[in-house]
């Protein structure tokens, strides 16, 4: 499975009654793929999986698996499930088992998983930091194909990891604002909730680094980084949903508890940072 490019962790849209609206999810997913993203992520944090029932989770997975299958695009799932091409697997949270425990955990998962694993490294949520050497050990395991790197910083460990990654091990930016510097250092792409908006530009940013066009990449970075920061100014995906609703792309901006809807100020700021002109190629910039 190729982990190159922009992957969008899909929101879960709700209608006025609070129910999941699967037709809107399908349309949104098709829009993402038509805009050039490489693949989708189902039931990641952005999809509010912990607030969905088991039936709702199955429904979301069925929709996104069908859309990806129709387009020949990969689907990564936040939960093990039929139809997914890989599973996004969180570093064990809360218990903080230490590096050796984390390596043992992923060794056991890799031995039993039916599909490849993408490690989700987000210390702010798990309480478990991992250095570059530990991530290399995990990345060398059979069936571990990459990491969503979301430490909240452009730190020395990711620089070291990208300087010498295990063969076939992809590093994906999990912090949207750090997409460009990580691509410059050798990351293969990103898992980006921000790419629900200005999707073509995020795709063009990745392509610019791949094509060795730093001038275009820098221009897009300066345009998109403030947007990403604004979309994450309040707990994700509240602001993303608010903007999508304001632009008529989903029926409501609703999120489920414990999340709260985005504030009017956050919505206004994000709206003002969205590029107005659509692009289809880098030459349109």
pLDDT given at position 278: 63
Average pLDDT of span 215-231: 97
- What range defines the domain where residue 125 resides? 5-212
Q: What is the pLDDT of residues 14-37, one digit of tens each?
A: 999 999 999 999 999 999 999 999
CB 28 within 8 A of CB 10: yes
| Euclidean distance between CA atoms 283 and 285, whole angstroms | 5
pLDDT given at position 70: 97
Residue 221 inside a domain? The answer is: no
Q: Which residues are catalytic?
A: 120, 148
Residue 284 inside a domain? The answer is: no
Helices and strands, number each (H, E), in the chain: 11, 8
Q: What is the CATH number of the domain that holds 15?
A: 3.20.20.70
Over 90: is that where the pLDDT of 244 sits? yes
Residue 261 inside a domain? The answer is: no
| Residue 285: band (very low, low, confident or very high) from pLDDT cuts 50, 70, 90 | low
Average pLDDT of span 212-226: 97
pLDDT given at position 282: 54
Which residue bears the tokens 């429904």?
Answer: 59
Over 60: is that where the pLDDT of 174 sits? yes
| Euclidean distance between CA atoms 252 and 24, whole angstroms | 11
Over 70: is that where the pLDDT of 277 sits? no
pLDDT given at position 199: 97
How many structural domains is the chain composed of? 1
Residue 191 inside a domain? The answer is: yes
pTM summary value: 0.95
Average pLDDT value over all residues in the chain: 95
Residue 37 inside a domain? The answer is: yes
Q: What is the pLDDT of residues 46-60, one digit of tens each?
A: 999 999 999 999 999
Instruction: Compute the chain's Rg from CA coordinates.
Output: 18
Residue 251 inside a domain? The answer is: no
Question: CA end-to-end span of the chain, whole Å?
Answer: 31
pLDDT given at position 279: 63
Residue 245 inside a domain? The answer is: no
Over 70: is that where the pLDDT of 88 sits? yes
Residue 183 inside a domain? The answer is: yes
Q: What is the pLDDT of residues 250-264, one digit of tens each?
A: 999 999 999 999 999
């Amino acid at each position: 499975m190729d982990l190159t490019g922009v992957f969008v962790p899909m929101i879960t849209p709700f209608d006025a009654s609070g129910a999941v609206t699967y037709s809107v999810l399908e349309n949104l997913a098709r829009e993402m793929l038509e805009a050039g993203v490489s693949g989708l992520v189902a039931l990641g944090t952005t999809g509010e999986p912990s607030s969905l029932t088991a039936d709702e989770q199955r429904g979301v997975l069925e929709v996104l698996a069908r859309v990806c299958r129709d387009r020949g695009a990969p689907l990564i799932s936040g939960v093990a499930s039929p139809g997914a091409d890989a599973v996004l697997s969180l570093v064990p949270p809360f218990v903080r088992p230490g590096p050796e425990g984390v390596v043992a955990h992923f060794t056991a998962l890799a031995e039993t998983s039916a599909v490849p694993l993408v490690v989700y490294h987000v210390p702010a949520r798990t309480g478990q930091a991992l250095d570059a050497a530990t991530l290399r050990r995990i990345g060398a395991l059979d069936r571990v194909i990459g990491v969503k790197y979301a430490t909240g910083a452009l730190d020395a460990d990711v620089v070291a990891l990208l300087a010498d990654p295990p063969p076939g091990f992809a590093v994906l930016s999990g912090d949207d604002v750090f997409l460009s510097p990580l691509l410059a250092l050798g990351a293969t792409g990103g898992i980006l909730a921000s790419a629900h908006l200005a999707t073509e530009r995020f795709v063009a940013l990745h392509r610019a680094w791949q094509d060795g066009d730093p001038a275009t990449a820098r221009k897009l970075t300066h345009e998109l980084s403030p947007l990403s920061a604004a979309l994450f100014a309040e707990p994700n995906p509240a602001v993303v949903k608010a903007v999508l609703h304001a632009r008529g792309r989903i029926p409501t901006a609703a999120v489920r508890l414990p999340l709260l809807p985005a504030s009017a100020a956050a919505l206004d700021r994000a709206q003002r940072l969205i590029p107005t002109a659509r692009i289809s190629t880098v030459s349109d910039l």
